[in-house]
C-alpha cells in the first residue's frame, strides 16, 4: 500500500480529475482483503452512503495501529486506502494528532466528492480516531 506522501505526489502529477479518480480506484485495489466474516455490523462504518467496513488489527511490534478496510463502491474503497495511508503504522497518540481532513484537502478531494461521500469520509476518520482512543486507553 502507498504511503500518503506518495499518494500526494501522484495527485500533483495527475492534472485531470478523470485520471485522479482512476488512481483512487487503483488505490482501492491495493487494500488487504477482508474475510467474509469481517464484513459484519461491528466493522461497518455508520454514516457512509456506501457500505464501508474497517477492522483494527492488534498493534504491531512497535505499538503502531494497523487497519484493514473495504467498501462495496470502487471510489470509496480508494478513499479507504487513502485514509488508511494516513493512519497505519502510527502509535495511537500520534494517530490522534493527525489532521486527516487538512492533509486530504491538499489532494483537492473535498471539492470533487459528493456531500454523501464527504460525510462518509468524515465517518471513516471518526471511526479510526475512536479506535485509536480505545487502543491508547488499553
Catalytic residue among 48, 80, 82, 85: 48
C-alpha cell read off for 71:
467498501
Helix axes 74-87, 115-137, angle to 10 degrees: 30
For the chain, report the end-to-end CA distance as a whole number of angstroms.
Answer: 27
CB 31 within 8 A of CB 70: yes
The radius of gyration of the chain from alpha carbons, rounded to an integer in Å, stands at: 14
Q: Provide φ and ψ at 71, rounded to 5°.
A: -150, 160
Quickly count: other Cβ atoms within 10 Å of residue 26's Cβ. Answer: 14
Q: Annotated catalytic, 48?
A: yes
Name 69's bridge partners.
54
Question: Which residues are known catalytic residues?
Answer: 48
Amino acid at each position: 500500500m502507498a504511503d500518503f506522501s506518495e499518494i500526494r505526489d501522484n495527485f500533483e502529477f495527475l492534472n485531470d480529475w478523470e485520471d485522479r479518480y482512476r488512481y483512487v480506484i487503483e488505490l482501492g485495489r491495493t487494500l488487504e482483503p477482508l474475510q467474509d466474516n469481517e464484513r459484519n455490523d461491528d466493522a461497518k462504518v455508520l454514516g457512509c452512503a456506501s457500505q464501508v467496513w474497517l477492522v483494527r488489527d492488534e498493534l504491531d511490534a512497535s505499538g503502531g495501529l494497523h487497519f484493514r478496510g473495504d467498501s462495496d463502491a470502487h471510489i470509496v474503497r480508494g478513499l479507504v486506502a487513502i485514509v488508511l495511508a494516513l493512519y497505519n503504522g502510527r502509535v495511537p497518540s500520534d494517530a490522534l494528532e493527525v489532521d486527516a481532513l487538512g492533509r486530504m484537502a491538499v489532494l483537492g478531494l473535498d471539492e470533487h466528492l459528493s456531500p454523501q461521500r464527504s460525510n462518509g469520509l468524515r465517518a471513516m476518520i471518526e471511526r479510526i480516531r475512536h479506535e485509536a482512543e480505545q487502543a491508547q486507553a488499553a
